[in-house]
Chain A
Amino acid sequence: MSGTRPPAESAETATDADADRTPVADADVCVIGAGPAGGIVADRLAEAGREVVILEAGPRFDPADRLARQERAIRPSYDRQDVWDGDAERDAYSASGDRQYPLNRARVKGVGGSTLHWQGMVMRLHEADFNSRSVRGVGADWPIDYEDLRPYYARAERELGVAGAADNPFAPPREEPHPMPAFPPSYSDSLFAEACDELEIAMHSVPNARNSESYGDRSACVGYGTCRPVCPSGAKYDATVHVERAEREGATVIDRAPVQRLEHDADSISAAVYATPDDERHRQEADAFVVACGGVETPRLLLLSESSRYPDGLANSSGLVGRYFMEHSFAGTFGVLDEPTRQNHVGFLTSESHQFYDDADAEYAPFKLEFFNFAGPSPVGMALTGDDWGDDLLERIRGDYGSHIAMGALIEQLPREDSYVGLDPERTDDRGNPVPDVHWTVGDRARRTMERANEIQREVFEELGAEIEWQQGPENTVPTNHHMGTTRMGTDPAESVVGPDLRTHDLENCWIASSSVFPTGGAMNPTLTIAALALKAADHVLESA
């Protein structure tokens, strides 16, 4: 018995206020944000010999605290935001849409970004997702297509370490196997498979950014079951992999350094002005800047950087910075069977179905079906929240655990002008800056598609003989933590913020690496596409100088 892993209450927020947070001299590239996009860009550019500095608003977390953070995820006295030291004043936001948007459940600020708490599902977009307007009659076409991104997808799969299989008949063409074999299906999947066979619904494996065998210096998954929000073993990819590799190649990371604004002239950015924990301000100069702050903070930073030259916000000649905020709406069905379903052994998914994805048109959105391995309560969660113990508790757990079953669906939401991220001038964060206002609007097509997904799920449950306890659909949907669309990509500077090379139309030395550039979102979890675009952005930065 050895080791020094601390209990939940002992994982501490970084307090290294005395660390050197002064700017890096002669930086070639300043990357803003240490999530997967920023980490991958920084790694690639540092590897190519560039002097890179990464500015990250949140802290660097101690890897030795992972088990303590896992305990926070399990114990009821800790909120989800507590797992990764969310700070309500630092992360303040508004949500002015019809639906509340739970932004701080959807992101993590810190080195590693939101991959610290993500599920880790990594699918390529389908070919038609890049041509939504042309093929489906709605949304916006990307200025690039699947073939343009295809080699970057392959590289991204190697970078993240993806476990997958070639058993998905609906997936876009690929040139090589996934880097690791897929995780085998679960017992729960086998129950669904019988029903899906009867209904002629094809199930297939899930590509996971999670090691099914050791990959590089990271171990295979050991089945902790708390993937979301924390993987103690490091088998699930998170962006510390790339940030730390970039550092080994010479990059500098300045954490707890939120960028306040981007100083600029008409054609280029000259410096990123950032704050330190003791509220000093510094200017990080560089030849090139890569904004990689996700779909909410990226437009916010550009809007905060307004000037007399760009009164509506930086890189915003189109007026579209912050516009077209997209999410994936969730539709789910939850119930019980009268037999054991073996839930909560692992915290990830092993089967899904893309069968209905490419039926999408103007009326119905693309969507995918998911088969859960963690339906219903976990025994330890029940134990810590009840008002019983001893034999009574055991009897209650035996009665409630083990027969649940659940399906989910991710639904594309079209880009809409009335779905946006703006600034709330009435509210400021801990630095006095207006907070982001997330105005999330779902739209009728997505609502219809949620109903459709619920219908299919109901058919599967009925075929299974499962009792449906509740459904999540148009009236009670939730977002799935995927922020997209707020600095869209296009060829026309009047209709987009960045070009196909991810460079802003307005500024010659500013690139954006983020899901914020997605013109239309598709219904696949976005991080593999974010990683592919980050690799592409890095290539374009290298081409420029």
Chain B
Amino acid sequence: MELTRRDAVAALAALGAGGTLSGCVAPPGSTPENDGGSAADVDTERIRETMVAAAEVVYPSAVTGTASFVDAFLEGRLEDRSHAVALDATVAELNDLAESWYDDPFPTLAPDDRDRFLREVGADTAAENPDGSARERIRYYVVNDLLLALYTSPTGGELVGLENPQGHPGGLESYQRGPDA
């Protein structure tokens, strides 16, 4: 089932929206006064590559169009400066660990190795926490942000028989319909 730009827009409607994704820049809309984190630029390309690579692992194999969906999702997500800075730090930490353990950054690992690495980090059993340990932040900013985007989108909902998932403003028709309608 293909994830579409509509899915990403729908996810953004629930989670945040706006902005552009281009290179190594400070997220739009941010200023040094309100960044809420490091003044260093955010490496959006590394974030994009890492999140797409993670999505290929945490999304079910039936899903296609992952890269463009994640791109569109990140466009909006990175507009919030504090979120972008925290995500950037978490992605950097994740990649440092991958290089230590597998001699390569996370996005270049084979899918099975990415899956194994995320479990070795402990992101599978960790409770998400934006202010917690590395594995808790990886769960929050990487794994759960991606799962949140998917399962609040129409396509993610349809995967499980729910066209209007929680968090998606999908109107008032679907709740009245039967399963065969």
Contacts and interface: CB of A to CB of B under 8 A. Distances in A.
Interface string B147-172: 11011100011011111111111111
Contact of B169 (A222, A340, A390): A222
Contacts of A8: 130
B164 A394 contact: no
A388 B124 contact: yes
A232 B163 CA distance: 19
A340 B161 contact: yes
A170 interface: no
A2 B17 contact: yes
Interface in B1-28: 9, 12-18
Interface in A175-220: 183-187, 190, 212, 220
B40 interface: no
Contacts of A77: 127-130, 140
Contacts of A425: none
B177 to A, nearest CB: 6
B72 interface: yes
Interface string A139-165: 000000000000000000000000000
A389 B143 contact: yes
Contact of A222 (B15, B17, B72, B171): B171
- Does more than half of chain A's interface fall in helix, strand or loop, or is it mixed? loop
A3 interface: yes
B62 interface: yes
A334 interface: no
A476 interface: no
Interface string B70-82: 0010011101101
A401 B157 CA distance: 11
Contacts of B58: 389-390, 393
Interface string B116-142: 000000001101111000000000100
A342 B82 CA distance: 37
- A6, A186, A387 — most chain B CB neighbours (10 Å): A6
B60 A393 contact: yes
Nearest to B145: A7
Contacts of B15: 5, 7, 67, 71
Given A5-B17, A384-B148, A387-B124, A402 B61 contact: no
A263 B9 CA distance: 55
Contacts of B57: 389-390
A281 B83 CA distance: 37
The range of chain B's interface size is 35 or more
A74 B179 contact: no
A486 interface: no
Nearest to B115: A390
Contact of B165 (A184, A220, A380, A388): A380
Given A7-B16, A75-B128, A77-B127, A347 B166 contact: yes
B122 to A, nearest CB: 10
A233 B127 contact: no
A401 B162 contact: yes
B79 A379 contact: no
Interface stretch (A223-231, A237-245, A520-528): A223-231
B65 interface: no
B32 interface: no
A379 B160 contact: yes
Contacts of A183: 172
Contact of B162 (A7, A71, A233, A379): A379
Contact of B176 (A1, A185, A340, A384): A185
Contact of A344 (B75, B115, B143, B162): B162
Contact of A379 (B130, B165, B169): B165
A344 B166 contact: yes
Given A7-B15, A68-B16, A344-B166, A75 B144 contact: yes
Nearest to A373: B175
Nearest to B79: A4
A380 B75 CA distance: 21
A76 interface: yes
B180 to A, nearest CB: 9
A226 B18 contact: no
Interface of A: 1-10, 67-68, 70-71, 74-77, 183-187, 190, 212, 220-226, 232-233, 339-340, 342, 344-347, 350, 373, 378-381, 383-384, 387-391, 393-394, 397-398, 401-402
24 contacts: A1-B9, A1-B18, A1-B72, A4-B17, A5-B16, A6-B80, A7-B77, A71-B167, A74-B166, A75-B144, A77-B130, A222-B171, A222-B172, A226-B167, A340-B161, A344-B162, A344-B165, A380-B148, A384-B144, A384-B147, A390-B115, A393-B60, A397-B160, A402-B160
Given A224-B166, A387-B125, A389-B124, 8 more contacts: A2-B18, A9-B82, A10-B83, A340-B161, A340-B178, A350-B175, A380-B152, A384-B144
Leading 10 A-B pairs by shortest Cβ distance: A345-B175, A222-B169, A389-B58, A340-B179, A394-B60, A3-B17, A380-B151, A225-B166, A383-B147, A7-B83
